Amino acid sequence: MGLQINEDLKDAIAEIMSSVLQKELPSLMEVVENKKVLNPELLSYADTSKKYSNSIGYWQKQVYEKNISYVKLGKSIRLRTSEIEKFISDRTVEV
């Protein structure tokens, strides 16, 4: 009897998820298509802080102290994902 309840619950959840996805997927796809990404390899401070869960100030400090390589485009500073990954890898402590 307990197994049947679990199966019914799984079916109900799957049905709800399917319904939500059918309703929301077109609007989500529209957002993705309208997002203008010039170069996904070059991230702004804001994008970097969101992706790697650090503050904007943390990344600005790393650039200011020349701890990480960066690309300067006019007044904008962008960080290469490969450089960020290298920066993180260099600071990884093996246990």
Per-residue buried b or exposed e for 14-41, using 16+ beta carbons within 10 Å of the residue's own CB: eeeeeeeeeeeeeeeeeeeeeeeeeeee
Q: Which 3 state secondary structure label does DSSP give 38?
A: coil
Give the long-range contacts of residues 29-33, CB within 8 A, separation 24 or more: none
pLDDT one-digit tens code per residue, 82-93: 999 999 999 999
d(CA 84, CA 67): 10
pLDDT one-digit tens code per residue, 17-36: 887 777 777 766 665 555 55
Indicate yes or no: pTM above 0.75: no
DSSP secondary structure, 47-94, as one string = HHHHHHT--HHHHHHHHHTT-S--EEETTEEEEEHHHHHHHHHHTPPP
Spatial contact of 56 and 45, defined as CB atoms under 8 Å apart: yes
More confident residue, 61 or 7: 61
